[in-house]
Chain A
Amino acid sequence: MTVLVGYVPSPLGEAALRAAIEQARFRDEPVLVVNTSRGDAYVDPRFAQEPDLDRVVRELVAAGVPHNVRQLMRGRDVAEEIVEIVEAEDVSLVVIGIRHRTPVGKLIMGSNAQEILLRVPCPVLAVKAD
């Protein structure tokens, strides 16, 4: 069993990562860090770059948790990617960060968090940025 965390290089993502590490220790399971981008814009601030990933790995190593970091760029939304991984692999818990969204914003932009909450077949831990 694995704890999956949807990571983005932002305070929200860092909060999710910390929560995932905590859960992994508690459950004595490894952490799977997932970071994705649709890759359709020249720049995607949610796609982690080398320094971000180095920091993530350092944090995981410092915590002594077995881990696996996976980056995907296949033109799909993060919700689709996470649902697929959860369905294919042995995931016990999904950790994601959530933030406030206005109804109009949700209508226009869609909500990845909502997609994941509703579609993932395992428990989801939703974390807010501190």
Chain B
Amino acid sequence: MDNLANLLDGFAHVLTPMNLLFALLGVTIGTAVGVLPGIGPAMTVALLLPVTYGMEPAQAFIMFAGIFYGGMYGGSTTSILLNTPGESSSVVTAIEGNKMAKAGRAAQALATAAIGSFVAGTIATVLLVVVTPPVVRFAISLGAPDYFALMLLAFVSVTAVLGASRVRGFAALLLGLVIGVIGIDQSGQQRLTFGLPQLADGIDVVVVAVGIFAVGEALWIAAHLRRKAGEVIPVGRPWMGKQDWKRSWKPWLRGTAFGFPFGAVPAGGAEIPTFLSYVTEKKLSKHPEEFGRGAIEGVAGPEAANNASAAGTLVPMLAIGLPTNATAAVMLAAFEGYGIQPGPLLFTRESSLVWTLIASLFIGNLLLLVLNLPLAPAWARLLRIPRPYLYAGILFFASMGAYAVNAQPFDLFLLLALGLLGFGMRRFGLPILPLIVGIILGPRAELQGRRALQLSGGELHGLIGGWMSWLIYATIAVVLLWPLIGRYVVRPLRGRLVTA
């Protein structure tokens, strides 16, 4: 029970006053951000990256974990009280949650969302503790060729599975890979620096993340700023009756079961499991007639699912160094900012840091419950901030952070260029996730690929390692060829089944 001892150690680290303060700060910021519909957790972590440069890595990650979980919580408050999902993962919550609130059951809806998130977050974090070490053991056995294949799989899956258009996905991925190439490579050659000394170290990940997520998003929103004012449904202190508990606990558990695996799989995300959970609860409910009119199961399940998926995301990120969503990608960038390489070796090299991070997830979850149950009405007041201040503030903090990294105005011009790239991508429907994954994983994929080819003396067969790489290449082929497979294999088969 090595891990248990490690985890207890981690708790000991988190439970110092200073670290608890950072956890509290993280969940507070995270919830605020989750409540505000215009700002996502990926953007927040990006904006806070430079602030954390003066902190210990452990403190920074305690704070990021709080933001990550807090963002998931906060989204539900807005969904329920305003029918405005703060995050895309709370869209499903809004369906039943807002109906409940309109029917005068806002308190119960908020309570089942908060307690469900706590239950799911805690169970999923336990799963994280159980699942991650075996994954790490497995990952250690992988060689450079397998890693290279795994990163190709990450590229292909975030590009081809998500989003409507593969061409646009690959265009975004390639742009990200190109940005990742900029700077001095491992053999000491300058690539794509055009003689600019500021580019020799590559573009700082902070500048990239802030430029694409914060500046790009703020410009894009400013171009189409919506004018709309809703009304917050007044609510007292969230609470649940006996009947509500009875109807909620099973959806919480089922939602967790949906959320965790989807979070852990590349391109799984939080949207699909929340939707699946909703549909399942509707089918299993003893009160199907209430669905569409405010069924508590329809809030409990999806909310549990989205928090569980947040924990699931951390498994591949910590164990293999693979980000499966935008927030994880930015957190990975943060690791690199500290010179820490996520991946299997993280658990041996930075054991104390990792277990502190995991322990802080438990603590953050508890803090969120304490913070959210009594304070939901206070959070709703945040929605009165005029949008101009929100987006002016984002540009303000983005500039400050990007400047603070290297203290050179050059980075601000770079930031604007990246912001305009992000703006253009949003305008033309190029997905952001492949770009950011390309930037962060690209250099590492090149490193592993070149390492693999070193061993084979430059022969291409060096890219093929053990059975694992075969399996991964097969998966990549299936993902890439899925449209053809769908047309020539699945559809005829289905047709035959129907006629038979």
Contact = CB atoms under 8 A, between A and B. Distances in A.
Whether A and B touch directly in their complex, counting CB atoms under 8 A apart, is answered as yes
Interface of A: 37-45, 47, 49, 73-75
Contacts of B36: 42
Contact of A40 (B230, B231, B388): B388
B229 A44 contact: yes
Contacts of A41: 229, 383-387
B372 interface: no
Contacts of A75: 227
Interface in B223-255: 225, 227-232
A74 to B, nearest CB: 7
Nearest to B225: A40
Contacts, number: 51
A49 B225 CA distance: 22
A37 to B, nearest CB: 4
B37 interface: yes
Contact of A73 (B37, B84, B228, B232): B228
Among all A-B residue pairs, the 8 with the closest Cβ atoms: A39-B227, A44-B229, A42-B383, A43-B383, A40-B386, A47-B229, A37-B229, A49-B231
B113 interface: no
18 contacts: A38-B227, A39-B227, A39-B228, A39-B229, A40-B229, A41-B229, A41-B383, A41-B384, A41-B387, A42-B383, A43-B232, A43-B380, A43-B383, A47-B229, A47-B231, A49-B231, A73-B229, A75-B227
Nearest to A42: B383
A38 B386 CA distance: 9
B227 A43 contact: no
A35 to B, nearest CB: 11
A43 B385 CA distance: 8
Nearest to B231: A49
Contacts of B380: 43
Contacts of A45: 231, 384
Nearest to B81: A43
Interface in B67-91: 78, 82, 84
Interface in B360-400: 380, 383-388
A75 B386 CA distance: 11
A10 to B, nearest CB: 13
Contacts of B78: 42
B386 A43 contact: no
Contacts of B388: 40
B384 A43 contact: yes
A49 B383 CA distance: 16
A45 B384 CA distance: 8
